[in-house]
Structure 1
Amino acid sequence: MNILPTGIEEQIKRVDRQRSLYIGISTGLLAVWSFYRLIWTLYLAMTFGWFFGSMAFSLVLWGVVGTVAGLTSYGFLTRYSRGS
């Protein structure tokens, strides 16, 4: 099953194998951090009430950042695991 489009996958294949490991780990950590921020934002919203502008912006922002970082991490780590 292929999650990434073919054009993006071809661009990832051009990156050095060792560098793809570094990029994959760092974007994976960013995805975990954004998931933590989403949970924290939901906790604050349930505890103190919804502040529509700031809460909605924060939820959308960290959701998009986490999704993109997760897909990037998946792409680079699968490139590293497949080898040269």
Structure 2
Amino acid sequence: MATIKDVAEKAGLSVTTVSRFLNNHPYISDDKKEKILAAMQALDYEPSTVAQQMRGVKTHRIGVLISRITNPSSQTWSMPWK
């Protein structure tokens, strides 16, 4: 499966330019648009629906990493987090 990076390399453009094209940025020249479209067709590129769904989604979760919980008071403190 081709990535944005693959499309950028094939088109001879930056990943940023390809990303802007995919997000309908208004200031991309017609020449660059044609190069990107040609590269996308040559690589059979399809945007990842999973990546699109994840964009801008907030989970409101915080990750906590604790190496060892040996102190009994630490175990009590961490119980609600399991």
Please indicate, yes or no, whether the TM-score normalized by the shorter chain is above 0.5: no
User: Whose helix fraction is larger, Structure 1's or Structure 2's?
Assistant: 1
By relative contact order (CA 8 Å, sep 6+), the higher-ranking structure is 1
TM-score by length of 2: 0.26
